[in-house]
A and B are shown apart, each in its own frame.
Chain A
Amino acid sequence: MYLTPEEERILAGERGPTLQKAMEILVALGDIYEADRLIPIKSAQIAGVSYKTMGDAGLEWISDLEGKVQVPSILNPAGMDLERWQEMGVSAQFAEKQQEIIQAYRSLGIEVQCTCTPYYLQSFSASYGDHLAWSESSAVSYANSVIGARTNREGGPSALCAALVGKTANYGYHLDENRTPELMISVDCELDASDYAVLGYIAGKAAGKRVPLFRMQSTPHRDQLKALGAAMAASGAVALYHVEGVTPESCRKDFELPAEQLTIERKQIDEVYETVSGDGITECDSAAVGCPHCSPEELEDVAAKLEGKVVDNNVWIFTSREVAASNPRLVERIEKSGAKVLCDTCMVVSPATDKFSHMAVNSGKAYAYLPGMCKVAATIANIEKCMEKGGGAHSD
């Protein structure tokens, strides 16, 4: 891989040991993936935040680093709401470790926004063609597919190294040739709401890590695309997809139709609705919405469904701190029912979820991950049914 004289100096350790390690990692990844050079990135989103997944090993590593990030950088969701962790039932010991992790990142110049939807933040916009180093699988899928920006799915350390150097290695989804569709998926019915999450759950299994091109009868809006991509990144490893006539690259480019084709039918989608993921002999005892984090429109939708109702069980609505802070009236309307609007975290990465046995979710990603990561069974349904079946919502 070609390095500029300045990059060579960093690699030789002339800018200190942290930058040297960061450059070593970028160069190793570049060599593994046969990148020709490093390219500047516009922003970074860094994984490896929840103490539940990082453990003491991760905390130790980031605490040993020095220096400052070179581009705007934020974080993946943490293991708890950084302010309301006690209400979630998170232990004081966990909270202390979690705050240490956050503090270590803050001292590297990273903005403490812990969210899987960086593209909703006012100060963190990404545009068509931008090169990024993002980590969280649904954010990567959204950036590549819905925005038309370019990012690989960075691991925690590689995203952090990219942020410290301000560059990433030029391979994978940064290159045109890896962005063309490899599999055509036709959907033979109209879809609405959580149907897109279920479609993503099915399509991800079929696509694996290939790039699918969808032909759909209905036109998904941005939150539905978010749900579709998040599910495909969880049940499969899809980091980029196209939807004919909808996503920007499929509108701008004249893709050749892939030879391999498959059709997904209404019947397959209904089967997922009827199937509990994991060991679900019990009734739902909780509900959660906001995987990935809710947009203002989704908060509005939840608020409307809970209007004049109260919930009997734990109902958690996850969003970013910025979106919650900009929409206080929506938060108030939702919380009037007894549901909680929580920030900085989600049901998948928080240890607080472990106390439940069966959660109702509207997310294909949560449906895929809850049994394995939290030992909690999951039922997938639209928001209204989640509130009723999981939350026990009823008229006040």
Chain B
Amino acid sequence: MEPIRIKGRGISKGSAGGEVLLSEDPISFLGNVDPQTGKIVDPEHCLFGKNIAGKVLVFPHGKGSTVGSYVIYQLFKNGVAPVAMVNLECEPIVAVGAIISEIPLVDGLESNPFEMLKDGMNVSVDGNEGWLEIKD
């Protein structure tokens, strides 16, 4: 099958590929995520118990404290950050966290990623040009 490319806006540079992990809920990196392991630790969160390490993490937007940017950096330094991130609409906490951690991040895709994507799908994200590609 030909890969499908969806255009969006590049927020944080770089490109990477991996398996999709979808979160319908917004993510507060401070509080929702354990920076040592990458596990979602908030029982109220839809990804509770799942691990975001090495995934292409797709979520609506970030929320909560601005310290969340540093938590993303801590995940990165601990080797348990997502390989790429996709937002419906990016806000500063996640944007800053992604840039300082050199995690590719795109937002504002032309098609709704929650309709196009399923958990475990193999995708690439390019933050330089701003697109997501579905490989299978």
- Please tell me which one of the listed residues B13, B73, B74, B92 contacts residue A155 in the complex, with CB atoms under 8 A apart: B92
| Chain B residues whose C-beta falls within 8 Å of the C-beta of A54 in the assembled complex | 67, 70
| Chain A residues whose C-beta falls within 8 Å of the C-beta of B73 in the assembled complex | 57-58, 60-61
Interface string of A38-53 (1 = CB under 8 A from B): 0000000001100001
Interface string of B61-99 (1 = CB under 8 A from A): 000011101110110010000000000001111011001
A155-B12 Cα distance, complex, nearest whole Å: 17
The binding surface of chain B is classed by DSSP as helix
A155-B100 Cα distance, complex, nearest whole Å: 13
A12-B78 Cα distance, complex, nearest whole Å: 28
| Chain A residues whose C-beta falls within 8 Å of the C-beta of B99 in the assembled complex | 21, 24-25, 28
Interface size class of B (residues with CB under 8 A): 20 to 34
The yes or no answer to A259 lying at the interface (CB within 8 A) is no
The yes or no answer to A56 lying at the interface (CB within 8 A) is yes
| Chain A residues whose C-beta falls within 8 Å of the C-beta of B96 in the assembled complex | 25, 28-29, 155, 157-158
A158-B13 Cα distance, complex, nearest whole Å: 17
Report yes or no: B67 in contact with A158, Cβ–Cβ below 8 A: no
| Chain B residues whose C-beta falls within 8 Å of the C-beta of A58 in the assembled complex | 67, 70, 73
Interface string of A145-168 (1 = CB under 8 A from B): 000000000011110000000000
The yes or no answer to B35 lying at the interface (CB within 8 A) is yes
Report yes or no: B69 in contact with A28, Cβ–Cβ below 8 A: no
| Chain A residues whose C-beta falls within 8 Å of the C-beta of B77 in the assembled complex | 57, 60
The yes or no answer to A32 lying at the interface (CB within 8 A) is yes
| Chain B residues whose C-beta falls within 8 Å of the C-beta of A47 in the assembled complex | 66
Distance in Å: Cβ of B91 to nearest Cβ of chain A? 7
The yes or no answer to B53 lying at the interface (CB within 8 A) is no
Report yes or no: B12 in contact with A28, Cβ–Cβ below 8 A: yes
The yes or no answer to B55 lying at the interface (CB within 8 A) is no
A57-B66 Cα distance, complex, nearest whole Å: 13
Name the CB-closest residue of A to B66. Answer: A155
The yes or no answer to A31 lying at the interface (CB within 8 A) is yes
The yes or no answer to A129 lying at the interface (CB within 8 A) is no
A239-B111 Cα distance, complex, nearest whole Å: 35
45-86 of chain A: CB within 8 A of chain B: 47-48, 53-58, 60-61
The yes or no answer to B21 lying at the interface (CB within 8 A) is no
Closest 9 CB pairs of A and B: A57-B74, A155-B66, A57-B70, A58-B70, A157-B96, A28-B95, A61-B73, A24-B99, A28-B11
Listed in ascending order, the chain A residues whose CB lies under 8 Å from chain B are 21, 24-25, 28-29, 31-32, 47-48, 53-58, 60-61, 155-158
CB-defined A-B contacts under 8 Å, sample of 24:
A21-B99, A21-B100, A24-B12, A25-B95, A29-B92, A29-B95, A31-B11, A47-B66, A55-B67, A57-B35, A57-B70, A57-B71, A58-B70, A60-B77, A61-B73, A61-B100, A155-B93, A156-B66, A156-B67, A156-B70, A157-B66, A157-B96, A157-B100, A158-B92
